[in-house]
Amino acid sequence: MIAFILRRLGGAVLLVFIISAVTFLIFFGLPKLAGTTTDDMAARFAGKSPTPEALAAIKERFGFDQPLAVQYGNFVKAAVTGDTYDTGVEKIDCPAPCLGYSFRTNQSVTDQLVDRFPITLSLVVGAAVIWLLVGVSIGVLSALRRGSLFDRAAMMIALAGVSLPIYFTGLLSLAFVVHQWGLLPPVSYSSFADNPFKWASALILPWITLAFLYAAMYARLTRAGMLETMSEDYIRTARAKGLPERTVITKHALRASLTPLLTVFGLDIGLLFGGAVLTERTFSLKGLGSLALDGVVGSDLPVVLGTVVTASLFVVVANLIVDLLYGVVDPRVRHS
Amino acid sequence: MKSRPRILAASSAGVVLLGLGLTACGGGGDEKTADGAGFEAAVGKVVNPSDKKGGTLRMAISSDIESTDPGDMYYAWSTNYVRLYSRMLLTYASKPGDEGRKPSPDLAEGLGVPSADKKTWTYKLRRGMKYEDGTEIKAKDIKYAVARTFDRAVLRHGPSYFSNVLDAKGYKGPYKDKNLDNFKGVETPDDYTVVFKLKDPFTEFNELVNFSGQTAPVPQDKDKGERYGLHPISSGPYKWEKDYQPGKGGTLVPNSNWDQSTDTNRKQLPARIETIAGLNAEELDNQLLKGQIHVDLAGSGVQDNARKSILTDPKLKAQADNPPGGFHWYNPIDMKVVPNLECRKAMVWAADRDAMWRAYGGDVGGEIATSIMPPDVEGREKGTDYYTKAEKGYKGNVEEAKKSLAACGKPQGFETTMIYREDRPKEKGVAIALQQSLARVNIKLNLKGFPANTYTSDQAGSPSFMQKNNVGIGTFGWLSDWPTGYGYLWALSDKAAILPSGNVNIAQIDDPQINEAWKKSYTTVDAAERAKLYNMIDDRLRSQAAYMPNVYAKSLLFRPSTLNNVFFHKGFGMYNYSTLGVTQ
Amino acid sequence: MTAPIEVTGSETQAQPDAVLEGIEGKAIQGRSLGQIAWLRLKRDKVALAGGIIVILLILMAIFAPLVVKLLGHPPNEFHQDLIDPTLGGPTSSLGGMNGDFLLGLEPGNGRDLFSRIVYGARVSLLVGFMATLVAVVIGTVLGVVAGYFGGWVDWVIARLMDIFLAFPLLMFSIAVVGVLPDKWLGLEGNGLRMAILIFIIGFFSWPYIGRIVRGQTISLREREFVDAARSMGARSPYILFREILPNLVAPILVYSTLLIPTNILFEAALSFLGVGISPPTPAWGSMLTDAIRTYQIAPYFVVIPGMAIFITVMAFNLFGDGLRDALDPRSNR
């Protein structure tokens, strides 16, 4: 078991390295290919129109004239051991894990990520609870009553659910539920620790909006998975043994069909933790997704790089956890 | 105002649900008596005067804040907002009507006293004024605050008047030259006297000192350059609770070391002031109309949706004002990018002035402009139209535009980029209208939007950006720094005003006649004579097609009924922020 | 494996086994797969409706200039004489909808919404199809290679897919679109933007196809008819092209059909976020962004692009679902 965990852990670390390297390559190598000069690069890093001296300092500082591998090495080194930035006025310490320093907002990228993450976390966790509960139960019910009116209606709604852009549903519900009917307070984020009730009531709408999309998807996945399992031989055997239908469904069918869902769920959560860009944008929530988008719009490259690397980190970690859980659930995985 | 269009009767099956729901929000035929103070009530007088303390004042802005550093800001609303946590030598009187446009003493005991040659201006500081930590504000702090504005690599947004008029002999700012004694532009003979030394005589220096936040004291040992803005040290009624979070906002709490008895321009009423940055503009308006947010910081008026709601609902309309904001939304044409006058003329000829006026909201949005100076600048003349007509319904003159293009040697047209503020739909509307109307003569505009908080410093305000990206034209709005021709026009027309960042002379006009006129104006004592010069400069800007006049702004401002001490401040062109209170 | 962040669209990732097994099962029988699928599809009225809508949409996009010429006005032309200058809405009722302006007028500048929707379909469908094509080409090539050759080749490609799937796609595309220059490879403006969108979306969605193809190839590799060919001395290319690829057509078809709507939603999302096509070229996502700003004045303007996206995506999904069911013998409705 320990060997298995170590192996997976090693793989995950390697994956993070590769992903950050590829990200780095795309942000630094691709523009070069496209004819961007090192001056332009430095300007993007400065995040504003800099003086020639500032440009020279940034070029020097980040070694834009050096080979990409060296630049990437510097980036990793800063992430591992920390770094110091010179703003020309004072030296700013950026302790490990230092993912860069934004010269536009004058803050370390890590600080901004730490500051924004609770918002994304609150959004995603709340939504995930809803979509798991709703999506899976509808999927199971649909599978059990296959072909019924309920099944057909639910699946049609689910298909519509995955076909609607989230910002469309989000903005419409915002217009109606909050502004038109005043059923909910305006969407905002306040700390859970300060006032859990306020935290929840101001986030209900984004939760439901995000959950609607995923619940639709999970309902379809669950239904498909259930139908497949129900036609397996061992379910027939279980039934033939005379086990009560309830036991057959909960103990055998459900478990078997939900395990693959675990993988999907892990990845979804991982991806969303990195920033639910559209939902955050729609509801003006200042999470990681908004941070990344602001970084792009304001050509603040350090922030963009930092958020993308962090987001992929979440995916890798989520993958790792799913893998490990599988190892616990299914011994065969451990030895494969 | 025309009658409300009946677009709202739901049209097709698909629209029924949405149509009914959304339009009901407009409130249409609701004829209940208004409980607001009345339409335009806050223009010229104070609405809901009250000294009630407590409550949370919530302010929001749809873009990010350019900077919270008093020395590093130029948007009118920033210099309005900064008064909550900063005091300056002088500041606009917090009064409705024309009184509000006049300089009044703040940290100084009185207005500056000039020497006979108008080259030395002396200010006496009040004693016992304190920072939030209780230390006393001294003359050297103001000297330092002025000195730091000399380094435009660090403070990029603010006005550049000081570095332009002060006799500092090549001083580079305190970040490159740590010894403040080397800064000769300001002298401090004692702790309570600040003396400004000017290169040339200048009669409007009190106005210059008055309008910006750049004389707000900054303790040298607390300065962190660019990062100072994240937590400026307060000298005003409020102080920052924690650091300001760019793109997110921050909270102001009362500053116990501020003394109401020394300050006639500010109040300390709300128990907290929360500022939210980057709130979606529609969401902001929605919350504003419900009173969940009290102030739209940007102060340039509500968006299209809210405009409709306000104009069609008497109850909401009674809480709104629609004064001329003092802004002129014009379009600078970069003379370095489009060097040929005939080509620039072609752009102006082809412009659909009617569509551009509509983009700003028609009658509610403002008046079609003739001169570059807006009407409320002292001594301003209406001026004549060059290459266009300031008329409703004027769609541009394609024939003349084609002639000019031929004269420019480009009968087949040309291509350039137009920039605008992405988070300002009206500016995007202007850009699309111009793109469409210029396309009629094969002038192809490629549109690019940028965020408002970087637009004035790094895109429109950066000549190198403009040239590098072939940006020939942009959208811009300008409010006079102070209500004279100098206060309006200097920054956008003098050669000396061209800056590497935060540039306002976006046209990059360097015209011998104009430069000469500016020089002449400094020594002209008679205000009417000066006004003549200013009008001549204005005329020249248009005959050179350096600036395309567009619309003199009228802002549709909304004040929730819970907001106290609200009045339209002529100096800022929006509600005054330093005296607001809330009823919770 | 899961679909890209927040723009689900369809479950491209749904377990493909059912379809694949179905295909194998039937491939050796008398009636051809196509015939069976067609028979099943014909009976599925909902899927057929989806298919017909898809075809109509494609025709509309291809013949957009003609359609607009017959039924509308140029998409960028202003009609401000029909707009109230103060409130910004059309002066006539129904949002200006009439025989002349089929879907009414855009508030403010009075552009013909019908024409803009028609032209907007071009952007959506072009990006949707081309990006899917890119994904299918890369996915098929790498999937077949990985599945057929196995060993370290398979290992490397499989890891590659893991890496690609771990990318926060939406965020990444926004970032890349923002970083790239305005002129590149002889392209500029919207041409370049469109090319970038297609490439990015396609380049990051190939693993969805790749995984399916790889899995299918692995199982085909061991089948009798491949063995037979091999024992008769057929070379790898022959086996790949003549024996394996034809058997992959059906699953690729199904999953491409389901990938297209995801990619359409993706492009709309980027337009919505302001990093898609630049104005004045109409795109549904950016129309929606504009519409949100005027929903009080012109509620129909929100509904129109929203429904355009919804109908298109839904039609593709219905058709794709039907196609999958038709190719899957175990699904019996």
What CATH number corresponds to the domain at position C250? 1.10.3720.10
Distance from the Cα of C6 to chain A's closest Cα (Å) equals: 7
pLDDT attached to residue B505 = 93
Distance between CA atoms of B360 and B364, rounded to whole angstroms?
A: 8
Distance between CA atoms of B22 and B30, rounded to whole angstroms?
A: 15
Chain B hits for C80, Cβ within 8 Å: 354-355, 358
Q: How does pLDDT run across B521-531, given as a tens digit for each residue?
A: 888 888 899 99
Distance from the Cα of C296 to chain B's closest Cα (Å) equals: 5
B35 falls within a domain:
yes
pLDDT attached to residue B6 = 30
Reported as a pLDDT band with limits 50, 70 and 90, residue B279 is confident
Q: Tell me which of B341-355, C21-35, C58-72 is least confident.
A: C21-35
Q: Radius of gyration over alpha carbons of chain A, in Å? A: 24
Based on the structure, what is the number of domains in chain C? 1
Average pLDDT over residues C137-144: 92
C311 falls within a domain:
yes
Q: How does pLDDT run across C310-324, given as a tens digit for each residue?
A: 999 999 988 988 888
Q: What percent of chain B has pLDDT over 70?
A: 94
The neighbour count for residue A68, using CB atoms within 10 Å, is 15
Burial class of residue B268 in the structure, from the number of CB atoms within 10 Å of its CB (0-12 exposed, 13-18 middle, 19+ buried): buried
State whether B504 and B563 are in the same domain: no
State whether B79 and B126 are in the same domain: yes
Q: Tell me which of B188-197, B478-487, C169-178, C317-326 is least confident.
A: C169-178
pLDDT attached to residue B456 = 83
Strands (E), B120-189: 120-124, 186-187
Residues (pLDDT < 50) of chain A are 336
Task: Describe chain B by its helix, strand, coil percentages, rounded to 5.
Answer: 30, 20, 50
pLDDT attached to residue C95 = 80
Distance from the Cα of A34 to chain C's closest Cα (Å) equals: 6
What CATH number corresponds to the domain at position B75? 3.40.190.10
C10 falls within a domain:
no
Distance between CA atoms of C307 and C305, rounded to whole angstroms?
A: 5
Reported as a pLDDT band with limits 50, 70 and 90, residue B16 is very low
pLDDT attached to residue C63 = 94
Burial class of residue C31 in the structure, from the number of CB atoms within 10 Å of its CB (0-12 exposed, 13-18 middle, 19+ buried): exposed
Distance between CA atoms of B519 and B499, rounded to whole angstroms?
A: 19
Amino acid code (one letter) for A182 = G
Distance between CA atoms of B180 and B171, rounded to whole angstroms?
A: 10
Distance between CA atoms of A277 and C270, rounded to whole angstroms?
A: 10
pLDDT attached to residue C25 = 42
Average pLDDT over residues C92-106: 84
C-beta atoms of A90 and B224 within 8 A: yes
State whether B371 and B383 are in the same domain: yes
Q: How big is the A-C interface in CB pairs under 8 Å?
A: 170
Core vs surface per residue A121-151: b (16+ CB within 10 A) or e:
ebbbebbbebbbebbbebbbbbbbebeeeeb
Chain B hits for A298, Cβ within 8 Å: 451, 453-454
Task: At B329, give phi and psi (nearest 5°).
Answer: -85, 105
The answer, yes or no, to whether residue C132 has pLDDT greater than 80, is: yes
Reported as a pLDDT band with limits 50, 70 and 90, residue C32 is low
Q: Tell me which of B90-94, B399-403, C294-298 is least confident.
A: C294-298
Distance between CA atoms of A45 and A305, rounded to whole angstroms?
A: 10
Amino acid code (one letter) for B507 = A
The answer, yes or no, to whether residue B458 has pLDDT greater than 90, is: no
| ipTM given for this complex | 0.82
Task: Give the distance between the most distant pair of CA atoms in chain C.
Answer: 81
Q: Would you state the structure tokens that stand for residue B80, as one six-digit string? A: 């309005």
Chain B hits for C302, Cβ within 8 Å: 18
State whether B478 and B362 are in the same domain: yes
Q: How does pLDDT run across C283-332, given as a tens digit for each residue?
A: 998 898 888 888 888 888 988 999 999 999 999 988 988 888 887 655 44
Burial class of residue B140 in the structure, from the number of CB atoms within 10 Å of its CB (0-12 exposed, 13-18 middle, 19+ buried): middle
Q: Would you state the structure tokens that stand for residue B200, as one six-digit string? A: 């040339």
C-beta atoms of C288 and A168 within 8 A: yes
C-beta atoms of A213 and C321 within 8 A: no
What single DSSP character describes residue B61?
A: E
State whether B107 and B214 are in the same domain: yes
Give me chain B's average pLDDT, please: 88
Distance between CA atoms of C305 and C174, rounded to whole angstroms?
A: 22
pLDDT attached to residue B160 = 84
pLDDT attached to residue B15 = 34
C-beta atoms of C294 and B304 within 8 A: yes
C139 falls within a domain:
yes
pLDDT attached to residue A61 = 65
Which candidate, C188, C54, C48, places its Cα nearest to that of C121?
A: C54
Distance between CA atoms of B575 and B355, rounded to whole angstroms?
A: 29
Distance from the Cα of B419 to chain C's closest Cα (Å) equals: 12
- Chain A neighbours, 3+ Cβ pairs < 8 A: B, C
Which candidate, B198, B239, B236, places its Cα nearest to that of B216?
A: B236
pLDDT attached to residue A52 = 65
Task: Describe chain C by its helix, strand, coil percentages, rounded to 5.
Answer: 70, 0, 25
pLDDT attached to residue C34 = 72
What single DSSP character describes residue A309?
A: H
State whether B319 and B353 are in the same domain: no
C-beta atoms of A296 and C175 within 8 A: yes
For residue B193, the cross-strand partners are B124
Q: Which of C166, C185, C321 sits opposite A312 (nearest CB)?
A: C166
C-beta atoms of B501 and A49 within 8 A: yes
Contacts of B331 (CB under 8 A, 6+ apart): B351, B430, B434, B473, B474, B475, B476, B547, B548, B550
What CATH number should be reported for the domain whose range is A111-334?
A: 1.10.3720.10
Contacts of C118 (CB under 8 A, 6+ apart): C60, C61, C64, C67, C68, C72, C75
Distance between CA atoms of A169 and A156, rounded to whole angstroms?
A: 17
Identify the domain containing residue B147 by its residue range: 71-226
Q: Radius of gyration over alpha carbons of chain B, in Å? A: 24
- Chain A touched by C186 (CB under 8 Å): no
pTM: 0.83
B247 falls within a domain:
no
Distance from the Cα of C194 to chain A's closest Cα (Å) equals: 16
The answer, yes or no, to whether residue C128 has pLDDT greater than 70, is: yes
Q: Is B491 helix (H, G, I), strand (E, B) or coil?
A: helix
C-beta atoms of B436 and C280 within 8 A: yes
Strands (E), B316-394: 320-321, 324-332, 366-368
State whether B495 and B403 are in the same domain: yes
Burial class of residue A257 in the structure, from the number of CB atoms within 10 Å of its CB (0-12 exposed, 13-18 middle, 19+ buried): buried
Q: Report whether B433 contacts C80 (CB < 8 A).
A: no
C-beta atoms of B9 and C93 within 8 A: yes
Q: Would you state the structure tokens that stand for residue B155, as one six-digit string? A: 């403070």
The answer, yes or no, to whether residue C76 has pLDDT greater than 50, is: yes
C1 falls within a domain:
no
B380 falls within a domain:
yes
pLDDT attached to residue A226 = 85
Chain A interface residues facing chain B, Cβ-Cβ under 8 Å? 48-51, 53-54, 87-90, 92, 104-107, 115, 172, 174-176, 178-180, 182, 186-187, 281, 284, 286, 290-291, 294, 297-298
B458 falls within a domain:
yes
* B288, B304, B426, B430: best to mutate for the C interface, most C CBs within 10 A: B304
pLDDT attached to residue B39 = 93
Chain C hits for B435, Cβ within 8 Å: 279-280
Q: How does pLDDT run across C200-258, given as a tens digit for each residue?
A: 888 888 888 898 888 888 888 877 777 788 788 777 778 877 778 888 888 888 888 88
The answer, yes or no, to whether residue B101 has pLDDT greater than 70, is: yes
Distance between CA atoms of B80 and B571, rounded to whole angstroms?
A: 9
What single DSSP character describes residue B539?
A: H
Domain ranges in chain A with CATH number 1.10.3720.10: 111-334
- Chain B neighbours, 3+ Cβ pairs < 8 A: A, C
Which candidate, A88, A115, A121, A84, places its Cα nearest to that of A101?
A: A84
* C1, C6, C309, C328: best to mutate for the A interface, most A CBs within 10 A: C6
Distance between CA atoms of B11 and B521, rounded to whole angstroms?
A: 61
Burial class of residue A282 in the structure, from the number of CB atoms within 10 Å of its CB (0-12 exposed, 13-18 middle, 19+ buried): buried
C-beta atoms of C299 and B305 within 8 A: no
C-beta atoms of B278 and A89 within 8 A: no
C-beta atoms of B154 and A88 within 8 A: yes
C319 falls within a domain:
yes
C35 falls within a domain:
no
The answer, yes or no, to whether residue B215 has pLDDT greater than 90, is: yes
Based on the structure, what is the number of domains in chain B? 3
Q: How does pLDDT run across B199-209, given as a tens digit for each residue?
A: 988 888 999 99
CA distances, B320 to each of B46, B58, B304, B316, B326 (Å): 13, 18, 14, 7, 17
Between helix C113-149 and helix C189-221 the angle, nearest 10°, is: 40
Q: Is B425 helix (H, G, I), strand (E, B) or coil?
A: helix
Distance between CA atoms of B581 and B564, rounded to whole angstroms?
A: 5
B259 falls within a domain:
no
Reported as a pLDDT band with limits 50, 70 and 90, residue C24 is very low
Distance between CA atoms of B388 and B386, rounded to whole angstroms?
A: 5
Pairwise pLDDT comparison (C175 vs B374), residue with the higher score: B374
Reported as a pLDDT band with limits 50, 70 and 90, residue C10 is very low
Identify the domain containing residue C234 by its residue range: 59-327
Burial class of residue C65 in the structure, from the number of CB atoms within 10 Å of its CB (0-12 exposed, 13-18 middle, 19+ buried): middle
Q: Which of C175, C185, C330 sits opposite A292 (nearest CB)?
A: C175
Distance between CA atoms of A153 and A163, rounded to whole angstroms?
A: 15
State whether B129 and B165 are in the same domain: yes
Burial class of residue A1 in the structure, from the number of CB atoms within 10 Å of its CB (0-12 exposed, 13-18 middle, 19+ buried): exposed
Distance between CA atoms of C240 and C242, rounded to whole angstroms?
A: 6
State whether B470 and B535 are in the same domain: yes
pLDDT attached to residue C53 = 94
Average pLDDT over residues B373-398: 91
- Chain A touched by C1 (CB under 8 Å): yes
Reported as a pLDDT band with limits 50, 70 and 90, residue C19 is very low
Provide the pairing of β-strand B272-277 with B56-61.
parallel
pLDDT attached to residue C109 = 87
End of a domain among B199, B226, B253? B226
State whether B108 and B40 are in the same domain: no
Which candidate, C83, C75, C80, C63, places its Cα nearest to that of C102?
A: C75
- Chain A touched by C155 (CB under 8 Å): no
Q: Which residue of B has its CA nearest to A281?
A: B280
Task: At A55, give phi and psi (nearest 5°).
Answer: -60, -50
Strands (E), C139-266: 183-184, 187-188
